[in-house]
Amino acid sequence: MKKSIKKVILLSIFLFAMSYTLITIMGKTYTVVFDITNKKNYKISIEEETGKIEVLNEKENNNKYMVKVKSKKPGKVSIYIDYGDFQTGKRLYIHKNLIITEDNYLGKATGSEVIPISFSIILLYILYLLIKIYRKSLKENIYQYKNIAYLGIIIFLSFSVINNILSIFNYLGLFETVNRIINSLSFVSIILLPISFITFILVTISNIILIKKEGKSLKNLPGLFLGLFTCLLTISPDFIYRILMHSGKINIYNLNSPGPYIYDFIESLIYLTVAYLECVLIATIIIALKSVKRKIEMNKDYMLILGCKIKNDGSLTPLLKGRVDRALDFRNEQLKTTGKDLIFVPSGGKGNDEIISEAEAIKKYLLEQGIKEKNILVENKSKSTYENIKFSYKLINNKKANIAFATTNYHVMRAGLIATKQGLKLEGIGSKTKSYYWINAFIREFIGTLYSERKKHIVFFTLIAITILLMIGITYIGNNF
């Protein structure tokens, strides 16, 4: 990681130096372009306020009148084109190093297109490095919170890269480019807003169904709060704007005062938060689906079956039966394909409202399906997924064994993440279940990712926030010089 950061810094320094050198060499001349009609008898006039320029040549082409000028003295110069009673003009800023920019102190200069090109190259390189790190991490172990963090950042950067590349084809100077990048945050968050809204609706519906099916539970509420929070956050800049507009304390219209720039920074941070959260949520969904669809190798020595609540008579609920049947299907396929059998490890203790342990109920069902007792290793003390994995692994007591676990599809990623936290590299398979379980699983792991990889998120978010602050600083300079 440190080597990658050094490479990015070196590339940035090289491109910055190259861009500065190119603009310094080319920027002392500039071609001012006027849109014209079919009228003739054009007359060019120059108003040298504090600066001085020299007209090198003039030419007309396709309803455009082009005047090429060369800088002579730093300052401000206005150049006008007159035809009849009509006059139009443009202001030029001549810097101390005699670079000419149009309309703004940080406006377009000759060769300045190299700036968005260089920035795009840097972003693309960062994106390439992140994708490389992400794919390596995914190959090592899919069940890691950092995979979600990496993918969320990749999705966010991808939008930024696309927006920046598009700015190259309509480059109007550093000032306009900065404004476009800042505005892109609101664009991305608004584009992704339907995802937040749909998630909010689906979470609400799934929670109502879950409460009816499973009873009231606080663990079903975070998704509701998250969806509501994201939707409110997206529309909050408009409310803040209205409040500031009527408060009279901060002038958000005077570009020479800090007011509009303070608002821009607050608005950009809000949109950054929304866009970033939405990208991480999308990444969570992608990794969760990858975890379920991923095919595991048929070389397993042990198959953990993660328990859940059983019926009052000690038989399996449809949810638990699905897990066991999925484990049996895998065993039969492995046996048929490779000739290798495996040992089942049913896991789950006895709850206060259960007549036998979940593991014993699973064992009974396995025996009924023709599995020999010698191929069943019972773990009947655990009370959670964490303990399911921990206690089962202790029973196996073979570090070289190839171990997999069977659970319900929405639970595969969570179980894998719990195994990874214990330093275990297990592969998981999932059985089908009702769709309303999925939504809460996504939200739970989304929150888990934000917490577990908080350092990565804070560093990345802070870097982006600092970049936005610098960009807004550039707009202030552009408007006040």
User: Is the pLDDT at 468 greater than 70, yes or no?
Assistant: yes
What residue type is assigned to position 468 of the chain? Answer: I
Q: What's the pLDDT at 40?
A: 65
Statement: the pTM of the whole predicted model exceeds 0.85: no
Radius of gyration of the chain (CA): 31
Q: What is the pLDDT of residue 214?
A: 55
Portion of the chain with pLDDT greater than 70, in percent: 81
- The pLDDT score that the predictor gives to residue 75 is 92
CA end-to-end span of the chain: 40
Q: What is the largest CA-CA distance in the chain?
A: 103
Alpha helices in 58-142 (DSSP H): 114-140
- pLDDT for the residue 374: 93
pLDDT at residue 82 tops 60: yes
Contact between 284 and 457 under an 8 Å Cβ cutoff? The reply is: no
Q: Is residue 35 part of a domain?
A: yes
Mean pLDDT of the chain: 83
CA distance 207 to 436: 8
Pairing mode, strands 403-408 and 427-431 = parallel
pLDDT, position 253:
65
Range 338-347 average pLDDT: 95
Predicted local confidence at residue 218, as pLDDT: 58
The three-point CA angle 40-42-45 to 5° equals 175
Q: Find tokens 């090198």 and name the residue.
A: 56
DSSP conformation letters of 424-459 = ---EEEEE---THHHHHHHHHHHHHHHHHTHHHHHH
The answer to whether residue 365 is domain-embedded is no
pLDDT single digits (tens) 278-323: 788 888 888 988 988 888 999 999 999 999 888 888 899 888 999 9
**Identity of residue 397:** N
Residue type (1 letter), 239: F
pLDDT at 29: 94
What average pLDDT does the segment 336-364 reach? 92
pLDDT band at 135; cut points 50, 70, 90 = very high
Span of 159-173, 188-202, 302-316 with lowest mean pLDDT: 188-202
**398 vs 21, higher pLDDT:** 21
92: Cα within 13 Å, side-chain hemisphere: 33
Domain count, the chain: 1
Interaxial angle between packed helices 222-247 and 259-293, expressed in degrees from 0 to 180 and rounded to the nearest 10: 170
Within-domain flag for 151: no
Rounded distance between C-alpha atoms, residue 258 and residue 473, angstroms: 10
Query: What's the mean pLDDT in 184-208?
Result: 63
Mapping DSSP onto H, E and C, the string for 193-228 reads HHHHHHHHHHHHHHHHHHHHHHCCCHHHCHHHHHHH
Q: What is the pLDDT of residue 125?
A: 93
User: Mean pLDDT across the stretch 13-40?
Assistant: 87
Nearest to 110 by CA among 13, 17, 16, 24: 24
What average pLDDT score do residues 221-250 get? 69
H helices, E strands: number in the chain? 12, 11
Read off the pLDDT of each residue in 140-145 and give the average, rounded to a whole number.
90
Q: 64 lies in a domain?
A: yes
Residues spanned by the domain of 56: 28-98
Mean pLDDT of the region 362-376: 94
Provide the token pair at 271.
């949109």
Both tokens of 89, joined, read 């003009």
Q: Range with the lowest mean pLDDT among 69-73, 102-106, 222-226?
A: 222-226
Place of tokens 């014993």: 360
pLDDT score, position 70: 94
Lowest mean per-residue pLDDT among 18-22, 381-385, 477-481: 477-481
387 part of a folded domain: no
Those residues with Cβ within 8 angstroms of residue 133's Cβ, 6 or more apart along the chain or in another chain = 1, 4, 150
Per-residue pLDDT band for 250 (boundaries 50, 70, 90) equals low
User: Considering the domain boundaries, does residue 54 fall inside one?
Assistant: yes
Grade residue 221 by pLDDT with cuts at 50, 70 and 90.
low
- Cα distance between residue 169 and residue 180, in whole Å: 13
168-182, 245-259, 400-414, range with greatest mean pLDDT: 400-414
151 pLDDT above the threshold of 80? yes
Q: Determine the average pLDDT of the residues in 378-391.
A: 92
> Are 386 and 415 within 8 A, CB to CB?
no
Contact present, 263 and 236 (Cβ < 8 Å): no
The more confidently predicted of residues 478 and 370 is 370
Q: Most confidently modeled of 290-294, 387-391, 464-468?
A: 387-391
pLDDT at 184: 61
Higher pLDDT, 340 or 397: 340
Segment 84-111 shows an average pLDDT of 86
Give the model's pLDDT for residue 262: 79
What is the rounded average pLDDT of the residues 412-422?
91
Does residue 445 form part of some domain? Answer: no
Which candidate, 441, 423, 393, places its Cα nearest to that of 144? 423
Question: The tokens of 216 are what?
Answer: 């009231």
Give phi and psi for 316, each to the nearest 5. -80, 140
With beta carbons less than 8 A apart as the criterion, state whether 50 and 96 touch: no
Task: Please say if the pLDDT value at position 179 is more than 70.
Answer: no
Q: How confident is the model at residue 181 (pLDDT cuts 50, 70, 90)?
A: low
CA 408-414-418 angle, to 5 degrees, is 125
**Helices 145-168 and 259-293, axial angle in degrees (round to 10):** 130
When pLDDT is averaged across residues 192-203 and rounded to a whole number, the result is: 63
Residue 82 sits in a domain whose CATH number is 2.60.40.10
398 lies in some domain:
no
Give the range with max mean pLDDT: 321-325, 462-466, 476-480. Answer: 321-325
